[in-house]
Chains A and B, each alone.
Chain A
Amino acid sequence: MYNKKLNLVLLGLALVAPFVLYPVFLMKVLCFALFACAFNLLLGFAGLLSFGHAVFLGTGAYVTGYVMVTYGVTPELGILAGVVMSALVGLVYGKLAVKREGIYFAMVTLALAQLAFFVFLQTPLTGGEDGLQGIPRGKLFGLIDLTDNLTMYYFVLAIFIFGFLTIYRTIHSPFGQVMKAIRENEPRAISLGYRVNQYKLMAFVISATLAGLAGSTKALVFQLASLTDVHWFMSGEVVLMTLLGGMGTIWGPVLGAATIISMQNFLASGPLANYIHVLMGVVFVICVLAFRNGLVGELQKVIRKNSG
């Protein structure tokens, strides 16, 4: 009951937000929040640290950008193409990565992502160092013009809500329960007869698909797909967002993404602009050392203490 109310309040805030804050900033937050939620599905609920998740964000962005620029398709078809491609890459990479566990899994995903980075850098389709620029936003279903930032915002919000609900449903399904069982005690899950690798692969593909959705949307918002999206630094950034917000919580990644993006926006124009990476590193170190549950996790602890 309490949660339902909270969700309604948040939805209301999201609906009026573009009248108070700059819509492009909000859209950026929503895209990264979706990306972080997708990543969190893997890390927080299946216990798999993928250190190369930027590859799915980038695949979504590049493929959507490419089909929009080259074939001039409508935005929903562009996004569909990006998402399908991310899912396929996720399937291939997932099959390779789930063979190893823990730290090995992290390193394999990182190295695979780097492979993709060089492919994006070198194929003639992606514009090399420049990336794809001037991606048109187009007309949704051929009807609704997305060039207006406010219209675009509600479209992005709808996509975010769709992605968020998908994750919510996944976590609260029997499949999600099995995922948690694997995270908590993998040998036991195996001995219970679950085909653990198939579950991991499934989680990996869902996560990759939604990360691709975030990337496709981001490409439309900024009308740009660039190497930044596939760089390993981006993979680190999404880990930071999730860790800061609270991994394994529903709202943690959203809060984490909002915090990091705000921090970057705020710092970029200030005297500390040169120190953004240093500060992010410091936040990383503090999160790992001092509050591993993240903002939402710590908040829940406080609430629990007061109510119990």
Chain B
Amino acid sequence: MATFFDINLFGLFGQLLIGLINGSFYALLALGLAIIFGLLKIINFSQGALYMLGAFAAWIGLNYLGINYWWALILVPLAVGAFGILLERILIRPIANEDHLYSLLLTFGIALILQGLFTHWFGSSGLSYEMPEELKGGTRLPFMYLPNYRAWIIVFSLAVCAGTWFMIEKTRLGAYLRAGTENAQLMQAFGINVPLLVTLTYGFGVGLAGLAGVLAAPIYTVSPDMGSNILIVVFAIVVIGGMGSIGGAILTGLAMGIIEGLTKYFYPEASNTVIFLVMVLVLLIKPAGLFGKEA
């Protein structure tokens, strides 16, 4: 640590930044999972595949349809959300009342299909997505260089997470949603259209994955297996945070990103495993997760 005030500070903050960016993606994906799980009690194993779909949709939009990044940011989550709603209506709803493990297996199958199709169409090597002109370049801070696009990811995804949290915890719509998770039948008796609420929730949760995909496209390679790799980390995050909590998903996602970044700086060999180690520790101390309610 002799060089703490020297060049290594750059390295440390660089890793912290990468950690924060990864954390933003974790938070968006974990949030989507938490919302879907909260109302539908479905573990959506295809969340990673839909994140991949979002990135590919942005890529196809830019290269074939002339849809630029900013439009993709709006259109792709809507399209992925709509695709998700279709999946929910056709495939998931028929087994909604069965053991929840079946929905896990079903969405796993869907993920395999999507990933397999994209591997076949685009190969597994990955494509690159041109960064939008407005966000190129960066700012030189006293302790590090901050690329604009990366700053944008953090600010934007935090805003989306905070907005979602506010909507669910503080508004009337959110109150319906939370009530629906407690007792769907009672809500129905009060005249709330629960099936519609379920569909919209699923669409929204899946749309978040699509949004994360668009955000990821310019800085990661767009490849068919980008979703499956991140998904399992997100599952671990969900276990750490505790499934019941929306805020828990967001905070744990960010925190794990940062912990991963710090590990990459101090002990790089463990950076891929540290989140799973945290998970083991949390399970030993608090099996329901940090923010979860005891089942």
Chain A interfacial positions (CB closer than 8 Å to B): 49, 51, 96, 99-104, 106-108, 110-112, 114-115, 118-119, 121-122, 232, 236, 239, 243, 274-285, 287-289, 292
Contacts and interface: CB of A to CB of B under 8 A. Distances in A.
A110 B109 contact: no
Nearest to A101: B295
B283 interface: yes
B272 A118 contact: yes
Most chain A beta-carbon contacts within 10 A, residue among B111, B112, B269: B112
Contacts of B233: 114
A289 B228 CA distance: 23
Contact of A107 (B41, B94, B95, B239): B239
Given A107-B235, A118-B272, A277-B112, A112 B105 contact: no
A111 B94 contact: no
27 contacts: A96-B280, A96-B283, A96-B284, A101-B295, A103-B101, A104-B243, A104-B295, A107-B43, A108-B283, A110-B232, A115-B280, A232-B228, A236-B112, A274-B116, A275-B120, A277-B119, A278-B112, A281-B109, A281-B116, A284-B106, A284-B109, A285-B91, A288-B95, A288-B105, A289-B91, A289-B95, A292-B98
B115 interface: yes
A108 B239 contact: yes
Given A115-B273, A281-B111, 9 more contacts: A51-B104, A111-B235, A112-B279, A115-B276, A274-B119, A278-B113, A280-B112, A282-B109, A289-B95
Interface string B233-260: 1011011000100000000000000000
B293 interface: no
Contacts of A280: 109, 112, 116
Nearest to A292: B102
Contacts of A292: 98, 102
B93 to A, nearest CB: 11
Contact of A49 (B104, B109, B110): B104
Chain B: interface residue count, which band?
35 or more
Contact of B116 (A49, A102, A111, A278): A278
Interface in B88-145: 91, 94-95, 98, 100-102, 104-106, 108-117, 119-120
Contacts, number: 120
A110 to B, nearest CB: 6
Contact of A115 (B43, B101, B106, B277): B277
Given A96-B283, A115-B273, A289-B95, A102 B112 contact: no
B181 to A, nearest CB: 15
A227 to B, nearest CB: 13
A284 B105 contact: yes
A285 B110 contact: yes
B61 interface: no
B273 A119 contact: yes
Contact of B287 (A100, A111, A115, A284): A100
